[in-house]
Chain A
Amino acid sequence: MNIDWDIIAKAMPLLAEGAIVTVQVSFLSAILGLVLGIAMGLAALSETRLLRWIVAAYVDFIRGTPLLIQIFLVFFALPVIGIRLDEFWAGVLALSINAAAFVAEVVRGGVGAIEKGQTEAARSIGMRNRQILVWILLPQAYRQMVPPLTNELISLVKNSSLLSVISVYELTRAGQAIISIHFVPFEIYTLLALYYYLLLKALSILSKKLEERLPQW
């Protein structure tokens, strides 16, 4: 088998540019998804039945449909209702609303897993529901929430490769562009795998470090 080393040397910096976009998209989506997801997770824990129902329906919809379809929906359907985003921001939005559903579930589940006695003890000293959430439940829950959230971040980076379908010039798209010109799928897909692997490895090392620093009690 012949490996085209020339192409590899040329492709590496181009792919690095794509990798930067992958990191940018993932980072922005993670932040936005976290903010949206935490807000929805808290809404899911609220006293208001309507809010709980809305979040449940949202989570159900996101989990029940393929991410690829959600990406197309954001990219092609939003302009129909007058919201025009470029590929990059449409991509960020699509990944965010997808991640938010998972984050909401993690927040709701994490708080729900705290022993009932904690809420009762807080009630017994006269705390209001909101105070119980803020001072008693969330500070205990976030420790359990971090591992599933870092997992979600890792899937988010993997999922970002799907944004190639709406021409976001991220890592996968950058690779496909090189392949379409030079037709060297073996070299490029191998390189792509390697780039993703390194990115995800770095992330998982970081999240291990973070998990180690979580408070113990």
Chain B
Amino acid sequence: MVSSFPRLRAEDVTKSFGETVVLKGVDMDVSAGETVVVIGASGSGKTTFLRCLNRLETPTGGTIWLDGETIGGAFDGPSGAWRSASEARMAEQRRQFGFVFQRFNLFPHLTARQNTAIGPEKVRGLKRADAEALAERELARVQLADHVDKRPSELSGGQQQRVAIARALAMEPRIMLFDEPTSALDPELVQEVLDVMKALAEAGMTMIVVTHEMAFARDVADRVVFMADGVIAEEGPPEAIFGSPQKAATQKFLRHIARH
């Protein structure tokens, strides 16, 4: 039964902030090794959806499974009532998701190596030397071998975002979630981050990427999901979404993007 589950399954995920309904029921399956690119207008709920997946936000409704295991709690006992996970359990589950933030959110008081090693050391329980060796390997993988001793303030935006990717990878996540990872970067620094993400996808990482980089979506996505108004309005392979979008909203959004 469990083996038939995809890597990630989101079922009817809803989220409201007070009166504002942001997610109106999002369903998404992501297979292991698949790269899903999420596009959509500002305010359509892309960030909120990603944050619900690893429970930086608690969804108002719906269920999320990772490899067949419910996230944030479980349907318990014969009654099947939902029981929220403990703080410890939640932390343990959360680290299965790598999260890359739009604004990097590196720890400013730590070097690139320490930023990347702190999770493996404090959360996974590796010895410091082992955690730092792992950090150096992950930093080398994102082309930062020469910058391991620098603090975030000494790095360019593109370098900082790659440290953030290394930090997430060092936790050996089962899925990586990217929330507009290049939208805070100067244009000339965007490509180096996209290159790292592409290499990651090609190495078989399971990823959900929210981005406005349409060339990246065409090139790397196995599937493109168009979100509008808190729901998935249309999805399909990149050729279909970009080549012959079916919904008027998708067509309008893509025309709008093309002009910018």
A47 to B56, CA, bound (A): 17
What 1/0 flags go to A100-139 for Cβ under 8 Å of B?
A: 0000000000000001011011111111110100011001
Q: Is the contact region of chain B dominated by helix, strand, or loop, or is it mixed?
A: mixed
Bound together, the chains give a CA A131 to CA B92 distance in angstroms of 13
Inter-chain contacts of A66 with B (CB < 8 A): none
Which residues of the partner chain B approach A47 to less than 8 Å between Cβ atoms?
87
Determine which of B54, B105, B118 lies in contact with A117 in the assembled complex, contact meaning CB atoms within 8 Å. B105
* CA distance in complex: A25, B108 (Å): 38
**Residue from B101, B103, B109, B123 in contact with A126 in the complex, judged by beta carbons closer than 8 Å:** B123
Q: A125-B123, A125-B167 are in contact. Are A120 and B101 (CB under 8 A)?
A: yes
User: Within the complex, which residue of B87, B95, B106, B152 is in contact with A129, where a contact is CB–CB below 8 Å?
Assistant: B87
Q: Which of B87-146 contact A (CB under 8 A)?
A: 87-88, 91-92, 94-95, 97-99, 101, 103, 105-109, 118-119, 122-123
B95 touches A126 (CB 8 A): yes
> Which range contains the number of B residues in contact with the other chain?
20 to 34
In the complex, what's the smallest C-beta–C-beta distance from B138 to chain A, in angstroms? Answer: 12
Say yes or no for B217: interface residue by CB 8 A criterion: no
How far, in whole Å, are A177 and B152 apart by their CA atoms in the complex? 59
Contacts of A5 in B (CB 8 A): none
Q: How far is the CA of A117 from the CA of B151 in the complex (A)?
A: 17
Partner of B56, one of A123, A129, A140, A215: A123
- Chain B 228-247 against A: per-residue CB contact (8 Å), 1 yes, 0 no? 00000000000000000000
Contact at A126–B168, with CB atoms within 8 Å?
no
State whether B168 touches A124 (Cβ < 8 A): yes
Residue of A nearest to B106 (CB): A121
Give Cα A90–Cα B91 distance, bound, in whole angstroms. 46
List chain B residues, Cβ under 8 A from A140: 107-109
Closest A residue to B151 by beta carbon equals: A217
Report Cα–Cα, A34/B95, bound state, in Å: 35
Say which residue of B88, B103, B109, B171 sits within 8 Å of A125 (CB atoms): B171
Closest to A136 in B: B107
A120 to B50, CA, bound (A): 13
Q: Tell yes or no: B153 within 8 A of A by CB.
A: yes
B88, closest chain A residue (CB):
A128
CB of A118 within 8 A of CB of B107, answer yes
A125/B108 in contact, CB under 8 A: no
Identify the A interface with B (CB < 8 A).
47, 115, 117-118, 120-129, 131, 135-136, 139-140, 215, 217
